[in-house]
Structure 1
Amino acid sequence: MGSKMEELLATKSIFFAVIFILQYILTIESASSISARKPLANNSSGPVLYPPVQLYMHDDHVVVDNGIFSITIASPQGTVTGIEFNGIDNILNDHNGESDRGYWDVNWSDPKNPTDKLDKLIGEHFDVITNYENQVELSFKRYWKISQNGNRVSLNVDKRYVVLRGSSGFYSYGILERFKGWPDVDVYQGRIVFKLQDKLFRYMAVSDERQREMPSFEDRSRGEPLDYPEAVLLTHPSDSLLRGEVDDKYQYSTENKDNRVHGWICSDPPVGFWMITPSNEFRNGGPVKQDLTSHAGPVTLSMFFSTHYAGTDLGMEFRDGEPWKKVFGPVFIYLNSVASAESPTWLWADAKEEMLMQTDRWPYDFLNSSDFPRAHQRGVVSGRLFVRDVALARADSAFIGLAPPGTIGSWQVESKGYQFWTRTDNQGYFEIKNVRPGQYNLYAWVPGYIGDYMHPSIVNVLQGSRIRMGVLVFHPPRNGPTIWEIGVPDRTAAEFYVPEPNPTLMNQLYTSQRTESFRQYGLWDRYTDLYPEQDLVYRVGVSNYETDWFFAHVTRKVGNKTYIPTTWTILFDLENIEPTGNYTIQLALASATAAELHVRINDPRGVFPFFTTGLIGKDNAIARHGIHGLYWLYNINVLHTQLRAGRNVMYLTQTRALGPFRGVMYDYIRLERPPRS
């Protein structure tokens, strides 16, 4: 009897041991599938069922493997040369050189010799920051020397990569630094880039609406270049359905506030590769600054700072030995997969869910750098914002944020510091969380009103502080009651008429998306098609700005290569003229590119314009399919003697006409009568 009982117990022990092993194997195998895509809350303990993170060091590279994926990094260069995941030996394009697969880079120039240069920030020193079973953090540093002046950007560089146990992806962040006394330099762009296997990754997703099968790099190379190198007409693509379409990376740009997750999907095996940016605090230009995402190549990137849609005004100019340090990132490079029988497009839904989880975990508590403050080391700023225009109103859905001290609206051309933005609720309340210690101005702007708000006092955020700003009141610019207005003051030209594209120059993705139709190529030439001889005329009280006001005030094409200035006319009637006081034109521009806008009233041929903006703007939003660039606001005083009872005419002339992309986009125009006591 005893022996039988012992045999039974032994059998049960073997049975449960087998079950445990099978469960362990299944858990590991499912780690790369959506069914187990959220295995770790990114803490230091980690689930015991996931294998430990392993670091393997070789002569010229290191490999980090957590059982879900492995990443190979050239050492000490710090470029990612390989990512193995879900049966794919290398997600990255291994036909490229090792420095051209996954890398950081900056564009810079010497102000004494302003030629654009690219520096891939190749590391020269490798350090293991953390190496234990739940986390590996690696550092690839490069120190600048005076002997390298002119050949390298004058920055110290520390590129970091972090792999956590049970996490289906890795983190990367960088610390760039200058010391006092270093030579002058201009730095225009910084980013992290990954170039994927073009035979595998053909489906790109940037948002719920903007996702599609994409052309390859070879498809573009066989195409016909258009007005600038980024835009190509696909003439012989491998996918015949793409023939006759235009591909241009700027068609997939996104505002910072919406640029949180984008990437690529491979259908066989069904795998996703995603760039997740959980915070905008290190990006430049504020919440509505536009920048690149993913584009044909296949390429995916996170833009940390750039001059896109703003021009060199947003570049970082370091002069007189100015010291500086900033942490960019971390960003999370997320890998996911599904069973082959499931739809690969589900990977996008999972990537969005992961983005929300990563955003909720910000600021991360597992980074090993004193330059990245944890949550308890940061501050909170709160308050309530009202608007007093015609009447006092709650600032509903206002953009409000902290940026380095400056002047009204200076946040939109700020790159060196950190910015922290949120939106007010429908009662005007706001709370700005996780603010790095430092000195800031509080800035705001409210959709539906012109102008910018800036609190007059410096906001000094200390570690762990909670600052209550109380009730704030924004007084938008206004000199008198509104007589008439054109547009909506929202800092974009989106409400105006966006024409149908040239049928031979279309991106099919945007044919059915009216809210995104401004992203079509060549819309600048459609003005000439619609107004071949006479310019736009707008009749206040009769015309509709949604159908009768072209979205961009551009030049007219004459012949094949000649462009001429254009003059738009606004007709309006006044019953009477106020005998005292002055009228006001509130002129808000959503974009300007190498333009000069002249304003005349009732005198189209005057030698001198009544008002001129002067030469303004470098944002290139017209060519890059943006609906706005930088915001410009002009308060124009009009003497009552310059107007008359009855019909009046305002002439708006864009005088600069050296090419198709010179012009402005209007945000809003308002005529105000003199204030009445």
Structure 2
Amino acid sequence: MKKLRLLTLVLLPLFAIHASPLRGEAAPVTLAEDAETYTLGNGIVTARVAKASGDLVSLRYNNLEMLATFLTPGGEPDLQRDPPGANPNGLNPRMTDHQYAFWSHDAMGPRGTAPAIARVTIDPRANGGERAEVSIKGVADGRKMGTGPGASPDGQFAADVEIRYTLGRGEPGVYTYSIFEHRPEQPQSAIGEARFCAKLAAFFDWMSVDAKRDLHYPKELRVGDKYIYTALQSANPAFGWSSTEKKVGLFFINPSMEYMSGGPTKVEFLGHRDTNAVAAPCVLNYWRSSHYGGARVEVDAGERWQKVVGPFLIYVNSGASPKAIYDDAKARAVGEAGKWPYAWVRGVDYPSAAERSTVQGRLVLRDDPGAAPSQRSAGMADCRPSASKPARDIADKNVRAPESGTSLQPMTGAAAAPFTRLTIGLTAPDTEWQRDAKHYQFWATGTPDGSFAIPNVRPGRYTLRAFADGVLGEFVQTGVTVEPGKPLDLGALTWTPVRRGRQLWDIGIPNRNASEFFMADKHDDPEISLRYAALFPNDIRYTIGQSDFSRDWFFQHVPHNEDPAAKSSPFRGATAPGRATPYAIAFDLPAAPKGRATLRLAICGTGAKTIEVAVNGRPAGKIDGLAGDGTITRHGTQGIWYERELAFDAALMRAGENTLVLTVPAGPVNNGVMYDYLRLELDESATRTLFIAGDSTAANGNINAIGWGKIAGEYFDPAKIEVVNLARGGRSSRTFITEGHWDRLLEAVKPGDVVLIQFGHNDGSPVNDGSRARGSLPGLGEETQEIDNKMTKKHEVVHTFGWYLRKMVADARAKGAWPALLTLTVRNYWKDGRVERGSGRYDEWIRQVAESEKVPLVDHTRLIADRYEQLGHAEVNAFFPRDHVHTSADGARLNAFLAVSGLKGLREQWLVVALSHAGRQVPVAEPSAVFVPPQPPPPGVDRDEREVFGKWLNLPAPADPALPTIWLIGDSTVRNGRGTGYNKEFGWGDPFAAYFYTAKVNVVNRAVGGTGARTFRAQWERILPQVKPGDVVIMQFGHNDNGARGALRGTGGETEERENAATKQPETVHTFGWYLRQYIAEARARDARFVVCSLVPRNRWSDGKVGRAGDSHGGWARAIAAETGTPFVDLNTLIADYYDSIGEEQTAALFADKTTHTNWAGAVINAKIAAGALHALPDNPVADFMRPGM
């Protein structure tokens, strides 16, 4: 080490170990430097800072080295063995690592790229030895800074980095802070893991990070992995280590949390032992990480951004015991908070106390569980020129539950209610504050009456946010502006939390964590996820009013482990495969409900991607889009908090006992969820709403200019779905949005609603003129054009037609709605006997958006044009009395009729059952007139797992339960997949209804692909209770009745004991014929009639003939029909004869695959043959319902 150049020379006396001297008695601060380091001292501590990087290479307390620094024989830091800055060859390879203290984004950057700038920013010679400060700055011109965890060897973040260390007279510790500055000329960039880490000397053996993790932690202690020591940052401003041998401690103290990420609910590493052989005690101040959902700093090219992280104190102390040392550090933290903002910080974006403000007010809670549905309040965040891009907000919460028990009574009344642990904060606008590390956040605790004061707020624009124990959701108020040095009183603010209806029941306490649930106190046991299977071998059944969630609801809803030898592994958790896990919730209702029920889940930890929901054995929906955060893997009880809702038809519930089942799919055991809170609400006045967004061809209009949307409501049952036509004449996709019509529509949209979108007629108009200025840019891309709009006199960025459609689809989905696109209505333009089909390329672009966004589409253009050409030009002229675009009432009725035909062609059963009597008479559009997005079966789900698989099946129900019903049961040759033509495969049951008067009878195709006579029994159990006198059941099985899931061959009484492949339970398997007898007998017991069909033939040929099944399943079906006196239709022979007649080549054209599944044309032929065969039966049970000609 080169000789030190002394700036101020003062001896460093040893002070009494338990106390710091008064400032008047304390030695002045010294600052010395050599070629490699600065040395700051004050008689209590001596800190040495590397000029090359800003690393703290030595910190001595009363001449005792506190860091794990490698020392030379002379006691100096060995900077040859552990060089400052970029050092991928440390004890933790592949990232910069040291055995002292360092910022992950140091001032060196990749070694050798550019020197750091070292300077003195506070010279103790100029202030009588009161304070010294040094600065090490790295300028990022043409390079990236930061070589810590996750960074490339070439660096990570394109921004200048300045690191400062400050030492004051009499202060038992050194302050450090880092300043990040991204200049506009620097490229787009993002920060990865960002922290300050101190590796401590080997004599430190007691870690204190919070009340639970305050323990003797010698190097030999190896329990679990380091994630069991994470803790809540906001609740623990002082954290670190002490030594039972030396009676000293080292703690980090955050005097403010404004510069940290994730707000008051962020869980993070505060301390652990290093994972290498040295296992040095570590103290970590993470201001941005990827743990527990992580946080983000993303800066665009051209953006000026600066953030000051800190200052925080590296505090050293001493005491008689670890408790005394920790208590002293916590007391010091209170004192440091009182000094914030520090008066000595200069030359960076760090407002002084006089430049900051206090924001105060009073939040008034009005929350009535019995009230009508409410809407979300809107509300406040720091928006500087560097504000991040808008993102969907994910609410957040924290703290523990006050008590256990299931609430069946209102938690609060309609009057103002007191708060429990109210948390109020100011965050940046348009950010997910839980994932935000880019901006500053300011949080405070409110009083029970809702009063709050948030001190030391920087000037800026903010969003005010609040959450509290016992209240689901988050208060939000936008547009709060804080001016320099001016206190802001917001007055009384009313918070009416969102409710979707009357509360039926709830489980847990909304407090942003899972701490109140069973075994949550053991969350830091790495094996806890595996223990669920032993604790609940039959899974959860929770009875409202009887069960206690502190005892009966396991805090992790995870796949059920079935491997007794499974273990958890460090950093990865329990990865053994587990089966799907149902959590059943039983509850009573006094009467059968109507309207809409909404299941509301507050989730605080996520590994799963979906949760399946079933009510009384019937699929209610799937909650997906879950936000993975690793909280279960990393042994926590809270990560990213968010809400998910599932609205479903209340008719799924009934008077008396009900069961709602939440199922986490099979997968690795740690792929589950943790609930903060669950609630079921009922809006008995609610129906779905079908919104129409479009132009004048859909708008209500007036005489001789009526849009189809005005008529559409006639085809829907208003008790099941309300049609709201918000189409507006003269609007394009662009102006429907820019004029606010789309926002008004979105305000009214609720989960489960339908949004039909049809634009294009006006999108080809001029982009900017003095009359309308309504055109969008042509095409689908991301191109834009900036204009000063001659109509609105405002600056506007104009996008492409495709961009506006994509926005509408995304916005509707974000509200939980079901969007669908329609191509344009047809104008009365003809040429050579054919009408114009579409306007320019808009139909093509609409179809391309549908395909790219996987959104359903009705080809309204084709349906209308085909009908017009059937009618002829002369008759169509009568539909257009005013011009070539706008229709009369009759023209509008035809267009509405065809729109409904297209919607029926999408074959979404929940929409079909909402049709009125008139709507049920509308024929179903052929598949070529619609686009149904591919919806393959859920991955990894066995077809016998009906609770999970059922929602995907899109199973139909009788449209009018008062009418007789024809039930079709069978396999995929009757109904394949969802019945929507996945892979262009259709069963003959899909077009079968066309041969019947649907005003007289329901035709319900409940066949399920992959099933046989044996395995369909699970489906039959749900159908049979709906079968009533006068119904007819038509059955066809045989394709899947071989192999492990099949029945025994034949018709006799033989049985065989097997293990069911799906349930893993013993099962007595019978013959194919035995199962057919059961179906017939059970239907007849309900006074229904029955028809047996033989299986349709496959496309397999031999000697010029299609193969028959007369000597196997087809023959056995015939035998059972004869034995039981049941009408029999030999589809196998009839269809095979037809295939023989047209030949092998033409038959192949009727199949979507090689041998089994027909396309639409093939399904239509098979349906026609089936209908004809029924008509020919001497005792045809459906004769009264069949259309003529059969």
Work out whether the TM-score is over 0.5.
Answer: yes
Partner residue, 1:233? none
Distance 1:119 1:281, change over 3 A: farther
Whether 2:445 is the aligned partner of 1:440: answer no
Whether 2:116 is the aligned partner of 1:124: answer yes
Whether 2:436 is the aligned partner of 1:414: answer yes
Whether 2:246 is the aligned partner of 1:246: answer no
Distance (whole Å) between structure 2 residues aligned to residue 461 and residue 169 of structure 1: 33
Distance (whole Å) between structure 1 residues aligned to residue 134 and residue 495 of structure 2: 47
Q: Describe the SS at the equivalent of 2:335.
A: helix
Whether 2:195 is the aligned partner of 1:191: answer yes
Instruction: From 285, 295, 305, give the equivalent of 1:302.
Output: 285
1:123 is displaced (CA, Å) by: 6.9
Distance 1:247 1:415, change over 3 A: same
Q: Describe the SS at the equivalent of 1:309.
A: helix
| Paired amino acid for 2:584 | T
Whether 2:17 is the aligned partner of 1:33: answer yes
Q: Over alpha carbons, which structure has the higher Rg?
A: 2
The runs of 5 or more residues in structure 1 that have no matched partner are 1-23, 41-46, 108-116, 217-236, 500-515
Partner residue, 2:1099? none
Partner residue, 1:77? 53
Q: Describe the SS at the equivalent of 1:469.
A: strand
1:586 is displaced (CA, Å) by: 2.0
Q: Describe the SS at the equivalent of 2:325.
A: helix
**Alignment check: 8 A CA contact 2:513 2:676 kept:** yes
1:188 is displaced (CA, Å) by: 2.8
Whether 2:593 is the aligned partner of 1:578: answer yes
1:656 is displaced (CA, Å) by: 5.5
Whether 2:583 is the aligned partner of 1:568: answer yes
Q: Describe the SS at the equivalent of 2:243.
A: strand
Whether 2:345 is the aligned partner of 1:331: answer no
Distance (whole Å) between structure 2 residues aligned to residue 653 and residue 129 of structure 1: 60
Distance (whole Å) between structure 1 residues aligned to residue 301 and residue 649 of structure 2: 46
Distance 1:121 1:624, change over 3 A: farther
1:327 is displaced (CA, Å) by: 0.5
Aligned 1:229-240 pairs, distance under 5 A: 237=220
Q: Higher helix fraction: Structure 1 or Structure 2?
A: 2
Instruction: From 521, 531, 537, give the equivalent of 2:526.
Output: 521
Instruction: From 213, 217, 232, give the equivalent of 1:214.
Output: 217
1:637 is displaced (CA, Å) by: 2.2
| Paired amino acid for 2:415 | L
Distance (whole Å) between structure 2 residues aligned to residue 334 and residue 349 of structure 1: 13
**Per-residue deviation, residues 478-518 of structure 1 (Å, max 9, x unmatched):** 1332221111111111111017xxxxxxxxxxxxxxxx432
Q: Describe the SS at the equivalent of 2:265.
A: coil
Distance 1:118 1:406, change over 3 A: farther
Q: Describe the SS at the equivalent of 1:287.
A: helix
Distance (whole Å) between structure 1 residues aligned to residue 105 and residue 616 of structure 2: 50
- Greater RCO, 1 or 2 (C-alpha within 8 Å, sep 6+): 1
Distance (whole Å) between structure 1 residues aligned to residue 649 and residue 113 of structure 2: 57
Partner residue, 2:423? 399
**Alignment check: 8 A CA contact 1:80 1:98 kept:** no
Partner residue, 1:231? none
**Alignment check: 8 A CA contact 2:591 2:655 kept:** yes
**Alignment check: 8 A CA contact 2:206 2:322 kept:** no
Q: Which has the higher mean CA deviation after the structures are superposed, 120-129 or 56-65?
A: 120-129
Distance 1:535 1:209, change over 3 A: closer
Distance (whole Å) between structure 2 residues aligned to residue 424 and residue 282 of structure 1: 21
**Alignment check: 8 A CA contact 1:254 1:290 kept:** yes
Partner residue, 2:605? 591
Instruction: From 152, 168, 172, give the equivalent of 1:168.
Output: 172
| Paired amino acid for 2:20 | R
Distance (whole Å) between structure 1 residues aligned to residue 606 and residue 582 of structure 2: 16
Q: Percent identity?
A: 31
1:394 is displaced (CA, Å) by: 4.0
Distance (whole Å) between structure 1 residues aligned to residue 54 and residue 313 of structure 2: 17
**Alignment check: 8 A CA contact 1:79 1:98 kept:** no
Aligned 1:60-209 pairs, distance under 5 A: 60-89=36-65, 91-94=67-70, 97-99=82-84, 100=98, 101-106=100-105, 124-132=116-124, 133-146=129-142, 151-152=154-155, 153-198=157-202, 200-209=203-212
Partner residue, 1:488? 509
The runs of 5 or more residues in structure 2 that have no matched partner are 1-9, 72-80, 85-97, 146-151, 274-279, 369-413, 567-575, 687-1190
Partner residue, 2:799? none
1:68 is displaced (CA, Å) by: 1.1
**Alignment check: 8 A CA contact 1:106 1:120 kept:** no
1:120 is displaced (CA, Å) by: 14
1:121 is displaced (CA, Å) by: 12
Distance (whole Å) between structure 2 residues aligned to residue 625 and residue 539 of structure 1: 28
Whether 2:657 is the aligned partner of 1:647: answer yes
Instruction: From 245, 257, 260, give the equivalent of 2:237.
Output: 260
| Paired amino acid for 2:17 | S
Which runs of at least 4 in structure 1 moved beyond 6 Å after TM superposition?
Answer: 117-123
Distance (whole Å) between structure 1 residues aligned to residue 631 and residue 213 of structure 2: 19
Instruction: From 20, 32, 42, give the equivalent of 1:56.
Output: 32
Distance 1:148 1:164, change over 3 A: closer
Distance (whole Å) between structure 2 residues aligned to residue 610 and residue 454 of structure 1: 31
| Paired amino acid for 1:529 | A
Partner residue, 1:234? none
Distance 1:118 1:582, change over 3 A: farther
**Alignment check: 8 A CA contact 2:586 2:660 kept:** yes
Instruction: From 518, 522, 543, give the equivalent of 1:539.
Output: 543
**Alignment check: 8 A CA contact 1:405 1:439 kept:** yes
| Paired amino acid for 1:298 | P
**Per-residue deviation, residues 163-222 of structure 1 (Å, max 9, x unmatched):** 101111110001011122433333232111110112x11111113442122132xxxxxx
With the length of structure 2 as denominator, give the TM-score of the two structures: 0.47
Distance (whole Å) between structure 1 residues aligned to residue 112 and residue 26 of structure 2: 35
Distance 1:523 1:122, change over 3 A: farther
| Paired amino acid for 1:412 | Q
| Paired amino acid for 2:307 | K
Q: Describe the SS at the equivalent of 1:283.
A: coil
Whether 2:568 is the aligned partner of 1:558: answer no
| Paired amino acid for 1:377 | E
| Paired amino acid for 1:167 | E
Distance (whole Å) between structure 2 residues aligned to residue 142 and residue 166 of structure 1: 30
**Alignment check: 8 A CA contact 2:287 2:437 kept:** no
Distance 1:477 1:138, change over 3 A: same
Q: Higher strand fraction: Structure 1 or Structure 2?
A: 1
With the length of structure 1 as denominator, give the TM-score of the two structures: 0.81
